[in-house]
Chains A and B, each alone.
Chain A
Amino acid sequence: MTPGASQRIGGLVAKDLAELSRNPGATVPPILTAIAAMVPAFLITIVTPKISGEHVADAQELQRAAQRAAELLPELGLLAPNAQVQAFMFQQFALFLLLVPVVGSMALAAHAIIGEKIARTLEPLLATPISTIELLVAKTSAPFALTLALMWATLLVYVGGIAAVAEPDVWRALVGTRVVVMFFVVGPLISLVSLQLAIVISSRVNDPRSAQQLGALIILPVTGLFVAQLMGGFVVGVNALLAIAAGLAVVNAGLLYLGARVFQRENILMRWK
């Protein structure tokens, strides 16, 4: 990067944020995802038992799964049976919240990049002293920052909701190393994968929705992991999350290489049509 890079990147990021603030449609998919990712946990763990007049701990299978999980997550072991199962369920569903950075990054980046293509505003940008790497950083910074903010806000609402409606201390059992790794290591890395994929896809398609649909493919591994977790009754622990983080870092490195090749001035100008 050359002198003045921070001013150039900052100017473009501020512009992207201003544009997004005037385009609420672009922020709808990530917000809906955040809501959709939170609701099932509360429906299954709190609402359904309330309606049926039972406790989640009455389900023997869930109780056994919670006890097994307590071996991996000691904070669960300190809770009463019903609180333990609730905490187990909320831990399981926490993985679902990782859909927020996936969908958020893809949706916002697709708008930030393809939006420029559609509006034909890329060429004037390329005629300025901004380097392609600065442009790449600028175009991914706003979606990245917004997505992380949304993911952490979702987490806050999730934990706050648990504190409000679940058994006492369930929320405390949630705030541990696992959640920290999940939302402060895996979350940002998965967001970066999604962003970089958006850049690669954006170079080939001209419609933000197409990019989002193609990008939605990376929802599958997250969903798959979640479903496997439920079916198998296991918990993706801290070590597994760190292994996933390492895998994501490798994928990010590969995508960075690919993105840098795709995101060349001449490519953008001549082939991004």
Chain B
Amino acid sequence: MAGELVRAQSITRRFDSRVAVDALSFELSAGEILALLGPNGAGKTTTLRMLGGLILPTRGSVDICGERLTGRTAARLRRAIGMLTETPGLWDRLSVRRNLLTYAHLYNITKPRQAVDRALEIVGVLDRAADLAGSLSKGLRQRVAIARALLHNPQIVLLDEPTAGLDPASARHIRDVIAGLRAEGRAVLMCTHNLTEAESLGDRIAILNTRLLALDEPDALRRTLSGTRVEIDVEGAAGDAATIVKSFTAGGLEVRGAKLVLTSVDANLVPDVIAALVRGGIRIRRVTPEQRSLEDVYLALVNEREEVA
């Protein structure tokens, strides 16, 4: 695939007898945000660590910018990756600038001061560069940690719960920064528990619970997993209308007085159903399409997986 920066092929990670991630495969391209959703302990952080070359998969392979990630290549390939870890991990006794300058040296950046200022400017904390990291609020610390991840201008950005525990304004600012990363053509993989955030930022969403349960665009994910739910209010009893509808869809159909409730119906069929009802002389008062929320989809998938387990 053109612009593909990350390719994970059937990666599995075991810790002794426990399987943290099982046979996970996906690709991530430049200018794309992939949101990784999953309950606690689903293997999201382990996945990020494998992609970031911090730990190696027990089985399967990871390619970064077309090159296989191994024990030998990891240190070099980490230059292409910026990683926001679960906690900001700043040195509290040092200034924000000193924190980032240390990382600039670790990445062998030739003009460290300029790189630090540029990264701080991106996240809007350049004016706090001289402050001690320990004096910053949680939101500002998170921004500095993101600046650290962007310091070396990486093509791939891995973010572990970037807005967890932040106030709405700080979270909004960080989401804007993440959207900006996509606009700059970076590939972003973001772990989150925030479904709204995943939906608003993610070009695609992966739902993980040790195994990959689903991976698609948010709309498609909702459609393919739940179908569309449509309520049709008709005049009079809905019995005749139900007979017509049954010939169109194998999805669920419920009759509640003058109301038909179609569940798991293909959204593309809805106009045909309405036309057939009109042709059949049914007077329609209102059609209310309703898609299940991403939360419903997520919970259904995760619960299903847990029941199976």
Contacts and interface: CB of A to CB of B under 8 A. Distances in A.
Interface of A: 2, 4, 7-8, 10-12, 14-15, 18-19, 22-23, 119-131, 265-266, 269-270
Contacts of B92: 119
B172 interface: no
B89 to A, nearest CB: 4
B303 interface: no
Contact of A22 (B54, B94, B102, B145): B94
Given A7-B105, A11-B105, A269-B55, A127 B93 contact: no
Interface residues of B, number: 33
A266 B55 contact: yes
Given A119-B91, A129-B78, A130-B75, A265 B55 contact: yes
B102 A12 contact: yes
B87 A19 contact: no
Given A11-B105, A124-B148, A128-B103, A270 B89 contact: no
Nearest to A268: B54
A192 B7 CA distance: 43
B102 A15 contact: yes
A124 B145 contact: yes
Contacts of B148: 124
Return the 10 tightest CB-CB contacts between A and B, nearest first.
A11-B105, A4-B108, A127-B83, A128-B106, A22-B93, A15-B102, A124-B89, A121-B89, A123-B85, A120-B87
Given A127-B52, A265-B54, A266-B55, A8 B83 contact: no
Contacts of A119: 89-92
Given A2-B75, A15-B91, A131-B75, 11 more contacts: A4-B108, A11-B101, A14-B102, A23-B93, A123-B89, A124-B148, A127-B52, A127-B53, A127-B83, A130-B106, A270-B15
Contacts of A120: 85, 87, 89
B54 A129 contact: no
A12 to B, nearest CB: 7
A200 B79 CA distance: 29
A83 B91 CA distance: 52
Taking each of A7, A127, A266, which has the highest tally of chain B beta carbons within 10 Å of its own beta carbon? A127
A145 B289 CA distance: 71
Contacts of B86: 123
